[in-house]
Amino acid sequence: MMLQSSGVSLNFRRSGVRMAVLATLTVSAGCAAAVIELPEPRTIVIHSGARLRTDQARMQEVNEWVTRETNNIIEDPTFFIDHQETAREVYVWEQLYVAVSPGDAQDSASIAIDPRAFDTIAIHHIYAHLHLMAEVGRRDEWLPEALDAVEYELERAILKRVSDAWLMGRTVFDFPPYGPLDELTYANEAGFLDAFTFTARPSEFAVARAEWARENPGETDRYRDWFVETFSREPPGLRSR
């Protein structure tokens, strides 16, 4: 896919990413070698009373790869990550464009962000970065658990990483709630990642969806009931915008 230029300079984009990363996901994203001891994660609670808990060891592991990845987004000159602003809540996969350029030209990826939710920007950039790294053959660095994954299995691996990064932000760095990422993370932690993704994206992953539906009869209804109880509204894909 071709990525159209937004007319914004590379240096501006990178400095913007640096600001987002430094202000949110790491204490010092510019010091990749630094080992940051994270505090004990707090329990998060949403308006329905649904709680999420995690442990410090798991979040320490997540912080290590998030720090390494955000440093790469900032510092690697072989690519750039761009975004388009939209004044509404956006799901992390919306408006993803990946462009792999021939020769020495920079590869690029672009993703939609909600500029009102500053803490989500770095998470959306991670999603775009992981898709770009998969496209350019650098999975061994960033997605070793999905070296041979294609289509839905690749998307699933990326969404799990995004979910973990947001869980760290919410439980360790006190990120405020953000509907689309909270929904993804709660669904992943409850074992409903597949149902969440297939329901929210009905025009994608037809083969994987059909196979999953055959192997999991009734799971869509169970997921819908859980989602309505947890978020007091219909899940994405079953509601009007």
Torsion of the alpha carbons at 66, 183, 1 and 74, rounded to the nearest 10: -20
The H-assigned helical ranges of the chain are 10-24, 56-75, 121-135, 139-142, 151-171, 179-189, 193-200, 206-215, 219-231
Mean pLDDT across 104-111: 89
Specify the DSSP element, H or E, that contains 112: strand 107-113
Give the tens place of pLDDT for each residue, 24-83. 554 433 344 455 789 999 999 999 999 999 999 999 999 999 999 999 999 999 999 999
Asked whether residue 102 carries a pLDDT value surpassing 90, the answer given is no
- Give the model's pLDDT for residue 34: 55
- Give the model's pLDDT for residue 103: 75
d(CA 171, CA 163): 12
**Which amino acid is residue 238, in one-letter code?**
L
pTM score, whole prediction: 0.87
- Rg from Cα positions in the chain: 18
The pLDDT > 90 percentage for the chain reads 79
Give the tens place of pLDDT for each residue, 118-172. 999 999 999 999 999 999 999 999 999 999 999 999 999 999 999 999 999 999 9
* Domain boundaries along the sequence of the chain: 10-45+54-155
- Give the model's pLDDT for residue 72: 95
Q: Residue 97 phi/psi, 5° resolution?
A: -130, 135
Give the tens place of pLDDT for each residue, 163-205. 999 999 999 999 999 999 999 999 999 999 999 999 999 999 9
- Give the model's pLDDT for residue 241: 58
- Give the model's pLDDT for residue 35: 58
